[in-house]
Amino acid sequence: MGTSLRDVARLAGVSVKTVSNVVNGYAHVSPATRAKVEGALSQLDYRPNLSARNLRQGRTGMIALALPELDAPYFAELSRCVIDAAAEHRWLVIIEQTGGGLERERRILDGVRDHHVDGLILSPVAVGAEELAARTDDTALVLLGERIYDGPADHVAIDNVRAAYDVTEHLIGLGRRRIAALGAQDDTASGTAPLRLAGYREALAAHGLPETVVKVDRYQRAEGAAAMTRLLASPEPPDAVFCFNDLLALGAMRTALAAGLRVPEDVALAGLDDIEDGRYSTPTLTTIAPDKNQLARIAVDLLKQRIDGHTARPPQEFTAGYHLIARESTMGGGLSRGVG
Amino acid sequence: MGTSLRDVARLAGVSVKTVSNVVNGYAHVSPATRAKVEGALSQLDYRPNLSARNLRQGRTGMIALALPELDAPYFAELSRCVIDAAAEHRWLVIIEQTGGGLERERRILDGVRDHHVDGLILSPVAVGAEELAARTDDTALVLLGERIYDGPADHVAIDNVRAAYDVTEHLIGLGRRRIAALGAQDDTASGTAPLRLAGYREALAAHGLPETVVKVDRYQRAEGAAAMTRLLASPEPPDAVFCFNDLLALGAMRTALAAGLRVPEDVALAGLDDIEDGRYSTPTLTTIAPDKNQLARIAVDLLKQRIDGHTARPPQEFTAGYHLIARESTMGGGLSRGVG
DNA sequence: CAACGTTGTTTCAACGTTGTAAACAGGTGC
DNA sequence: GCACCTGTTTACAACGTTGAAACAACGTTG
């Protein structure tokens, strides 16, 4: 359908390969022919056929980004960063949604060849280290956002243990003593939940405080709301809750306010992710802000290295930065409270 | 790199084309050879090379979805629906972010051929009807979510005028009399803003009520917050505000609560989009819920028709359903109020 | 001036797939 | 035995591109 090199070559009166050379910026083309060819190129409005180019070169110029759900704000924001970072390498990004399920994560790991992307950035939830090690596909792979010990692939994340420690210590520093953790998960070996839990425990232990842990199935508002209901029903409700992500925190906040509690006076709340919602909730949400752009950039750059063939290098761990943002849900100063 | 038809053919002792026939489910293959070939296929774990197939067939099996920003919750949720709907046709989706800018929208319209996607679903913001009509690319195109009059492409959206009318009437029905509209835009001919404004005006006119209109540049929380500040500073502040999308409403809510107002007692707020955030804000947000799945499905199906060659059909308009969800930000019953 | 390197251009083959058309086998009917 | 089906399989070419190698024209060097 579109114009091909053949058409351009015919019009310019040169060979197909010469046109190809001009298109690809090959050095040794005489100014005269180059001018001729470029004239023909723009006259016919030539666009290279990527399928053909990819077939010839064995590359597709596309990478896949597989994450649990696009409509979780954290992942949407992260996706945006990845797409932007990939654009710098002239890569297109195909987004796959795993739903956090083992079955679909497996299918994606296994089916990368189907789509013929050059590489895959996976934000794993269910899949574990041995699964990963056993995969037959040798497409470049980078893991994003979870820690899989001794995994067979490069990995980027923030230091989840330290981040959780920092949040907990922030709450302790504000004088809170009954600090609950909301967001633990049924003991999956992988995942960030155990790491965040570890950081929380370390901080409490360092100050000799007791721990309260509430589990959830998924990191969604509804789960946060439900878990908070359980917490408030306990004989000694917490005076602070560290939620393992912002969505849980926003759900918990909804429950607390609806129950007539003041946030943070009666109960302080903190999350992790720094999604935009938390900047506009009432009260605004204290959180850990991972450097999403850095995460995305490192992931993309690592993938690029793998794809370009530096595959000899053993899998490595990379850590992106984060910082604590103290807002009204712990510091107060906001004007919200429940109707007592 | 991967196994090709050639390898499978060699192993099965048949021709390449026979393997191709088996892979593609061609009817006239004897059970014996089919069995042989299928054995070889699974033994070698064959996966078709999409680049080659696409080159041969002139199709890529991918569509592009171009929208302003992936990290606006409405678009993230919509993307999810589009990806799911596209998956039913075995299409992959490449997401392009326009930032709502004219320049990038133009580049995408013009550059579709670069990526060699089979079709494009565009959620236009800046680009107008005449731009669209002038485009040289003949790739299948469906417009999503905005109304471009007499556009040269199929178009899907909800009935924005009626939706805005419904929200406004909802507010009137609750006894509000000073109802402001938040979210008008500098007179761009295209876009949904004029439509929503029209619906708002119709409803007010039907009840002989005065109008107050506040403009914003972008549909983001921060703009909603700022615009609300301006509204509250006026001599006669509104007792209800219809925000043209949920993000604006959440920003406005933040400002109202921070100013010590009770929502909805002092000022009722309504939005449009039904993003998840609004179900967990305090108070929860009254809104119009467009049927996002239906929007996505219609858009994808239309694109499929265009791609499959029913191009003779003139461009059409399609309307997806919506419904009003009355929540605490207008109905009350929530427990949130500012500190008076 | 012969051998050689450089620059500019072309020819050729191949990437993996599938549509077309043709070849082939095994019938049936006459 | 021949023409004629139907079902099954194959050879060939082509999609648009680019690496490798070949070639021609020229300037440099020994």
Instruction: Please determine, for residue B53, whether its predicted confidence score (pLDDT) is greater than 80.
Output: yes
pLDDT tier for residue B336 given thresholds of 50, 70 and 90 = very low
Do both B152 and B165 map to the same domain? no
Q: Is residue A19 part of a domain?
A: yes
User: What is the Cα–Cα distance from A224 to A11, expressed in whole angstroms?
Assistant: 66
Report the CATH number that the domain containing residue A20 is assigned in CATH: 1.10.260.40
pLDDT in tens, A162-190: 999 999 999 999 999 999 999 998 866 56
With contact defined as beta carbons under 8 Å apart, do A121 and A82 qualify? yes
CA-wise closest residue to A327 among A257, A260, A246, A214: A246
Are B93 and B145 in a shared domain?
yes
Give bridge partners of residue A6 from the DSSP assignment: none
Instruction: Tell me if B105 is assigned to some domain.
Output: yes
Structural domain harbouring B76 = 60-157+292-318
Q: Do A282 and B55 touch (CB under 8 A)?
A: no
Same domain, A123 and A32: no
Q: Are residues A69 and A152 in the same domain?
A: yes
User: B179 and B151 in one domain?
Assistant: no
On the question of pLDDT at A332 being above 80, the answer is yes
How much is the pLDDT for A337? 40
Q: What is the pLDDT of residue A171?
A: 98
d(Cα A39, Cα A8) in Å, to the nearest integer? 9
As a whole number of angstroms, the distance between CA B181 and CA B5 comes to: 62
Please check whether residues A12 and A96 belong to one and the same domain.
no
In a domain, B178, yes or no: yes
pLDDT digits (tens, 9 = 90+) for A242-294: 999 999 999 999 999 999 999 999 999 999 999 999 999 989 999 999 999 99
Is there a domain that residue A339 lies in? no
Q: In chain A, which among 239-258 make CB contacts under 8 A with chain B?
A: 250-251, 253-254, 257-258
Which helix (H) or strand (E) segment holds residue A294: the answer is helix A292-307
Contacts of B83 in chain A (CB under 8 A): 70, 95, 97
Q: Are A166 and A285 within one domain? A: yes
Residues A27 and A97 in one domain: no
CATH label of the domain that carries residue A83: 3.40.50.2300
Report if CB A28 to strand C is under 7 Å.
yes
Tell whether B153 and B298 lie within a shared domain: yes
The domain tally of chain A equals 3
Whether A189 and A151 share a structural domain: no
- What's the rounded Cα separation, in Å, for the pair A8 and A24? 14
Can you give A229-275 as a three-state secondary structure string?
A: HHHHHCCCCCCEEEECCHHHHHHHHHHHHHCCCCCCCCCEEECCCCC
Question: In this structure, are A63 and A10 located in the same domain?
Answer: no
User: Does a structural domain hold residue A207?
Assistant: yes
All residues of chain B having their beta carbon less than 8 Å from the beta carbon of residue A115 are 50, 92
Residue A243 structure tokens: 């939620």
- Binned at pLDDT 50, 70 and 90, residue A221 comes out as very high
Which site among A53, A116, A253 would you substitute to test the B interface, given the most B Cβ atoms closer than 10 Å to its Cβ? Answer: A116
Query: Which residues of A are less than 8 Å from B94 in CB distance?
Result: 62, 92-94
Q: Verify that B142 and B220 share a domain, yes or no.
A: no
**CA–CA distance, B11 with A6 (Å, rounded to integer):** 37
A11 in any annotated domain: yes
**Per-residue DSSP letter, B129:** H
Q: Please count the CA atoms within 13 angstroms of the CA of B182 that sit on its side-chain side.
A: 37
Q: What is the pLDDT of residues B193-235, one digit of tens each?
A: 999 999 999 999 999 999 999 999 989 999 999 999 999 999 9
Angle in degrees, 0-180, between the axes of helices A73-87 and B73-87, rounded to the nearest 10? 80
pLDDT score for B113: 63
Least confident of B68-77, B202-211, B248-257: B68-77
Q: Which of residues 265-284 of B touch A (CB under 8 A)?
A: 276-277, 279-282, 284
Kindly tell me if the per-residue pLDDT of B335 is higher than 60: no
Mean of the per-residue pLDDT values for chain A? 90
Share of chain A above pLDDT 90, in %: 69
What one-character-per-residue DSSP string does B256-325 give?
HHHTT--TTTT-EEE-SS--THHHHSSSPPBEEEE-HHHHHHHHHHHHHHHHTT-TTSPP-EEEE-EEEE
Interval B303-316 mean pLDDT: 81
Q: Is B336 within a domain?
A: no
Q: Output the pLDDT for position A340.
A: 26
3-class SS letters over A57-121: HCCCCEEEEEECCCCCHHHHHHHHHHHHHHHCCCCEEEEEECCCCHHHHHHHHHHHHHHCCCEEE
Chain A residue at shortest CA distance from B55: A51
How confident is residue B313, by pLDDT bands cut at 50, 70 and 90? confident
pLDDT the model gives residue A114:
66
- In sequence order, the β-bridge partners of residue A317 are A155
Query: In this structure, is residue B338 part of a structural domain?
Result: no
Rounded distance in angstroms from the CA atom of residue A28 to the C1' atom of nucleotide C4: 20
Per-residue pLDDT, A150: 67
Q: Would you state the pLDDT for residue A104? A: 84
